[in-house]
Amino acid sequence: MSRFTFNAAVLSLSMCCQLPAFAQLDSPEQAMVAFIDSSNGAAEELLIESVNINSGTMNFAGVRAVADHMMPHFEAIGFDTRWEDGAAFGRAGHLIAEMRGDGEGPKLLLIGHLDTVFEPSSPFQNFVRIDAERATGPGTTDMKGGNIIMLQALRALNAAGLLQDMDITVVLTGDEELSGDPLSLSKKAIIDAAEYADIAIGFEDGDGNPATANISRRGSSGWTLNVKGTPAHSSQVFREDIGPGAIYETARILLLFLENLQQEENLTFNPGRILGGSEITHDTETSSGTAFGKNNVVAESALVTGDLRAVSLEQLERARSTMREIVAANFPHTSAQIEFSDGYPPLAPTDGNADLLRVYSQASADLGFGSVAPVNPRLAGAADVSFTSGLVEMAIDGLGLSGSGGHTVDETALMSALPSQSKRAALLMYRLYKK
Instruction: Give, to the nearest 10 degrees, the angle between helix 417-433 and helix 351-366.
Output: 120
How many CB atoms are located within 10 Å of the residue 409 CB? 12
Q: What is the pLDDT of residue 52?
A: 98
Amino acid at 167: D
For the chain, residues with pLDDT lower than 50 are: 1-22
**Contact between 167 and 105 (Cβ < 8 Å):** yes
Q: How far apart are CA 161 and CA 38, in angstroms?
A: 17
The greatest distance separating any two alpha carbons of the chain, rounded to the nearest whole angstrom, comes to 85
Task: Give the domains, in start order, of the chain with CATH numbers.
Answer: 8-217+347-433 (3.40.630.10), 220-344 (3.30.70.360)
Collapsing DSSP to helix, strand or coil, 421 comes out as helix
**Contact between 340 and 309 (Cβ < 8 Å):** no
- H or E segment and range at residue 186: helix 183-186
**Contact between 213 and 349 (Cβ < 8 Å):** no
Q: How far apart are CA 203 and CA 189, in angstroms?
A: 17
Q: Give the residue ranges of DSSP H helices in 160-303.
A: 183-186, 188-196, 246-261
Residue 17: CB partners within 8 Å, gap ≥ 6?
Answer: none
C-alpha R_g of the chain: 25
Q: What is the pLDDT of residue 7?
A: 38
Q: How far apart are CA 165 and CA 367, in angstroms?
A: 24
Q: Say what the pTM is.
A: 0.87
State whether the Cα torsion 121-122-123-128 is positive or negative. negative
CA nearest neighbour of 323 among 257, 252, 250: 257
Q: Give the residue ranges of DSSP H helices in 52-167.
A: 60-75, 145-159
Q: How far apart are CA 307 and CA 147, in angstroms?
A: 29
Q: How far apart are CA 390 and CA 426, in angstroms?
A: 25
Q: Give the residue ranges of DSSP H helices in 205-350.
A: 246-261, 313-328
300-343 per-position pLDDT tens digit:
999 999 999 999 999 999 999 999 999 999 999 999 999 999 99
How many CB atoms are located within 10 Å of the residue 313 CB? 14
Q: Give the residue ranges of DSSP H helices in 290-392.
A: 313-328, 351-366
Collapsing DSSP to helix, strand or coil, 96 comes out as strand
Q: What is the pLDDT of residue 19?
A: 39
